Amino acid sequence: MSKKLLLKDAHIEGIRYFETYRKQGGYGAAEKALKMTPDEILEEVKASGLRGRGGAGFPTGMKWSFLAKPEGVPRHLVVNADESEPGTFKDRYLMEFLPHLLIEGMLISSYCLGSNVSYIYIRGEYSWIPDILEEAIEEAKAAGFLGKNILGSGFDCEIYVQRGGGAYICGEETALLESLEGKRGNPRLKPPFPAVKGLWERPTVVNNVESIAAVVPIIDITGAEYAKIGVGKSTGTKLISACGNINKPGVYEIDMTITVEEFIYSDEYCGGIKDGKRLKACIPGGSSVPIVPANLLLKTVNGEPRYMNYESLADGGFATGTMMGSGGFIVLDEDQCIVEHTMTLARFYNHESCGQCTPCREGTGWMYKILKKIENGQGKMEDIDLLWDIQRKIEGNTICPLGDAAAWPVAAAIRHFRDEFEWHIKNPELCLTQNYGLANY
């Protein structure tokens, strides 16, 4: 059984409220942290090996150490709660059921970074959660854990919740900052990076909800102890939101030493494939990461088991080319149509493209149109190569990672399931009434 650090108290009734959270030892890490120096906290976070839980997996301590500290210029912590990646809903769970864990993590992080005014930017569709967060902020303030001179430390901190307008692109950190400033959420060209010029051109750290919540157990048990959980550079625990054709969709906390097979088939987690069907493929880290067919998902190219961690999921380079990403684990059974699935994703990225750069604005539209053609039995063999060519022209040629995120699922689908694309083209009448899975398994 995986060790629980973030969700250990999630089952306790009333844990959403300050009184219950406090009774379970909540805000103990904040009390400890406020007696430490900001540099000592930074060293603990670095020692923990915590990697950003939003998708990129960049070391959090290193990110914090890049924060510029010009004299007299305010600094900010911004929590990225714009969780819009299809298949990902673990931050929603944290904010809805354990809001004080996030507030406590923000207090510790704000103190470390020198942010007296910190923000939570939350996706507009999570319409019921800002009230939960604001209630938790008020409770923490009433108990002296926010506001002026917190616990007599001399440190002041206010937290504000800002609702997004429902644009996926605002999960990109610079688009988020633009939106937080009241502008259209267009990603900025980097450099300068937010650590130097972020919110209102002030040094800013933008971190995912889960990353900031993880700071609480890190301070609690020390960075060194946190680093002992997990394996290699995949330290600590990771929240996974599992969905698709499985028996037990939900949010799970894993310690990154379990295998993918165990995660899918064990009753502790996904509980196997629905209706006893066979596993066809999986997208292990949210819709932006490449899809992986079952044979590569359960075993590496060397025949070793594949593990639920950053290194193992990416292992094999060309073979999987996938990532842990945001931890949105989407399972597809044998009846799922890869062409239709890829088309749905292409439509999503085309709709969510901000339109600033030509390869993304035009390319996502072209990919969607071609995939729709193939899915509707009107495709030609050369369309597959055209699709491949378009995704190649998007990848690496755009301002922000949405372009790559749109290209990778198409590339992986063609790389691993080209026969299924060809089947659609060769069987136009069949693909309108059934799918490749039913016809070929």
Which residues sit at the interface with ligand SF4, rule CB under 6 A? 169, 187, 353-357, 360-361, 398-400, 402-403
In the complex, minimum distance from the CB of residue 140 to ligand SF4, in angstroms, rounded to a whole number: 35
Residue 356 or 427: the one with the smaller Cβ distance to ligand SF4 is 356
In the complex, minimum distance from the CB of residue 371 to ligand SF4, in angstroms, rounded to a whole number: 18
Beta strands in 98-231 (DSSP E): 117-122, 158-163, 204-208, 230-231
In the complex, minimum distance from the CB of residue 367 to ligand SF4, in angstroms, rounded to a whole number: 13
Q: Are 239 and 6 in contact (CB under 8 A)?
A: yes
Q: How far apart are CA 264 and CA 1, in angstroms?
A: 14
* Alpha-helical runs (H) found in 222-288: 223-228, 260-265
In the complex, minimum distance from the CB of residue 395 to ligand SF4, in angstroms, rounded to a whole number: 11
Structure tokens at 363: 């390319």
In the complex, minimum distance from the CB of residue 394 to ligand SF4, in angstroms, rounded to a whole number: 8
**Contacts of residue 326, Cβ cutoff 8 Å, sequence gap at least 6:** 53, 54, 55, 83, 85, 88, 90, 285, 286, 288
**Contacts of residue 77, Cβ cutoff 8 Å, sequence gap at least 6:** 106, 109, 110, 113, 115, 118, 119, 204, 205, 207, 212
In the complex, minimum distance from the CB of residue 403 to ligand SF4, in angstroms, rounded to a whole number: 4
In the complex, minimum distance from the CB of residue 169 to ligand SF4, in angstroms, rounded to a whole number: 5
In the complex, minimum distance from the CB of residue 398 to ligand SF4, in angstroms, rounded to a whole number: 3
Residue 339 or 399: the one with the smaller Cβ distance to ligand SF4 is 399
Q: How far apart are CA 326 and CA 322, in angstroms?
A: 12
Closest-approach residue to ligand SF4 (CB): 360
In the complex, minimum distance from the CB of residue 393 to ligand SF4, in angstroms, rounded to a whole number: 12
Residue 91 or 352: the one with the smaller Cβ distance to ligand SF4 is 352
Residue 307 or 366: the one with the smaller Cβ distance to ligand SF4 is 366
Q: Any idea of the CA torsion for 59, 34, 119, 48, to the nearest 10 degrees?
A: 10
**Contacts of residue 158, Cβ cutoff 8 Å, sequence gap at least 6:** 116, 117, 118, 146, 147
DSSP assignment, residue 16? T
Type of residue numbered 336: Q
Residue 223 or 359: the one with the smaller Cβ distance to ligand SF4 is 359
Residue 5 or 357: the one with the smaller Cβ distance to ligand SF4 is 357
In the complex, minimum distance from the CB of residue 91 to ligand SF4, in angstroms, rounded to a whole number: 21
Residue 105 or 198: the one with the smaller Cβ distance to ligand SF4 is 198
Residue 23 or 190: the one with the smaller Cβ distance to ligand SF4 is 190
Q: Are 367 and 391 in contact (CB under 8 A)?
A: yes
Residue 54 or 187: the one with the smaller Cβ distance to ligand SF4 is 187
Beta strands in 184-289 (DSSP E): 204-208, 230-231, 234-235, 238-244, 250-254, 279-283
**Placement of tokens 């136009």 in the chain:** 428
Q: How far apart are CA 243 and CA 89, in angstroms?
A: 10
Residue 122 or 360: the one with the smaller Cβ distance to ligand SF4 is 360
Number of C-beta neighbours around residue 397 at 10 A: 15
In the complex, minimum distance from the CB of residue 360 to ligand SF4, in angstroms, rounded to a whole number: 3
Q: How far apart are CA 440 and CA 304, in angstroms?
A: 28
Q: Are 354 and 187 in contact (CB under 8 A)?
A: yes
Residue 187 or 290: the one with the smaller Cβ distance to ligand SF4 is 187
